[in-house]
Amino acid sequence: MRTEEVSSASNPKFKKLLALQEKSSLRRSDGLFVVEGRRETENLLEAGFVPETLFLCRELFPLPDFLLEKAAAANPDLLVVELPKALYAKAAYRESTEGVIAEVRCRDLSLEDLHLSENPLIVVLEAVEKPGNLGAVLRSADAAGADAVVICDPLTDLYNPNLIRASLGAAFTVPCVACTSGEAIAWLKRRGIRILTAQLQDSSLYYDVPMTGGTAIVMGTESTGLTDEWRRAADAHIRIPMLGTLDSLNVSVSAAILLFEAVRQRQG
């Protein structure tokens, strides 16, 4: 483990930290992403992610020795950069921060890398754009014990800082894969996992549809819904009853409702 002090915003390491937070192209080319907060750092280490650099501000919140030791064990070449409070504030998104920001190596999974349970529960999202929604879906997937979240034809990268913040660490606890819709459909069919598409047209109430076997709950954008490719591939179409004027819910709310219906059926 190496330690370095940085006191200038023009320092190349500090400038790269800011650029990684803003530029998905740099995250892809360098294979690194940024995580802020002690809890999130603990979660990523527990999940086996490897930190490249830790930016610490001990004036704000001394990092516990056990966490620093765990990060160093994950990467013996870990670089620890000490930042003063004023400089740390330029990089931190949170008002009440915990004094740690990590640059972490990306770990891109494929569908074949996923280890599924006997009756897997999977969330599939097609072309969902807002990283905050994706992060919230990951939180619900973690709470429901889902095997994985599959993001088809993504419009944001899986290591967007807003996604990671919104997930509160679930981005590390729930396996997440990006692929095309065609790849996901073929993979689900090969494994005999039923495809349930959330849609208003030609659909049954979600609580009337069995979810006790291997199940993939598939949702699209709030504005356009799912493409015909998914509608044709579905084993059943499901809907959440809408009793008011509006005809849709936020995708993260819909995901939570449908996931916990699967939990209810499996526990009942």
User: By residue range, what is the domain housing residue 66?
Assistant: 2-105
Give the largest CA-CA distance in the chain.
62
Q: What was the pLDDT predicted at 154?
A: 79
DSSP per-residue letters across 176-236: EEEE-HHHHHHHHHHTTPEEEEE-STT-EEGGGS--SSSEEEEE-BTTTB--HHHHHH-SE
Q: How far apart are CA 110 and CA 104, in angstroms?
A: 19
DSSP state of 112: G
The answer to whether 6 and 83 are in contact (CB under 8 A) is: yes
Domain count across the chain: 2
Return the CATH number at 224. 3.40.1280.10
Q: How many CB atoms lie within 10 A of CB 267?
A: 7
**Do 93 and 37 fall within a single domain?**
yes
- E strands of the chain, at which residues? 2-5, 32-36, 51-56, 79-82, 100-105, 121-126, 148-152, 176-179, 194-198, 204-205, 215-219, 236-239
Return the CATH number at 35. 3.30.1330.30
- Counting beta carbons within 10 angstroms of the beta carbon of residue 191, is it exposed (0 to 12), middle (13 to 18) or buried (19 or more)? middle
Q: How far apart are CA 160 and CA 141, in angstroms?
A: 18
> For the chain, what's the residue count?
268
DSSP state of 111: G
**Do 143 and 42 fall within a single domain?**
no
Q: What does the block give as tokens for 63? A: 């990092």
Q: What was the pLDDT predicted at 4?
A: 95
**Do 97 and 210 fall within a single domain?**
no
**Do 79 and 160 fall within a single domain?**
no
CA-based end-to-end distance of the chain: 50
**Do 145 and 239 fall within a single domain?**
yes
Give the residues of the chain that fall short of pLDDT 50. Answer: none
**Do 134 and 97 fall within a single domain?**
no
**Do 22 and 71 fall within a single domain?**
yes
Phi and psi, residue 100, nearest 5°: -140, 130
Q: How far apart are CA 226 and CA 229, in angstroms?
A: 8
Q: Which residue has the tokens 């199940």?
A: 215
Looking at 57, 77, 105, the residue that finishes a domain is 105
**Do 73 and 97 fall within a single domain?**
yes
pTM metric for this prediction:
0.90
**Do 13 and 33 fall within a single domain?**
yes
| Identity of the residue numbered 182 | G
Work out whether strand 204-205 and strand 194-198 pair parallel, antiparallel, or are unpaired. Answer: unpaired
Residue-wise pLDDT tens digits, 33-62: 999 988 889 999 999 999 999 999 988 888
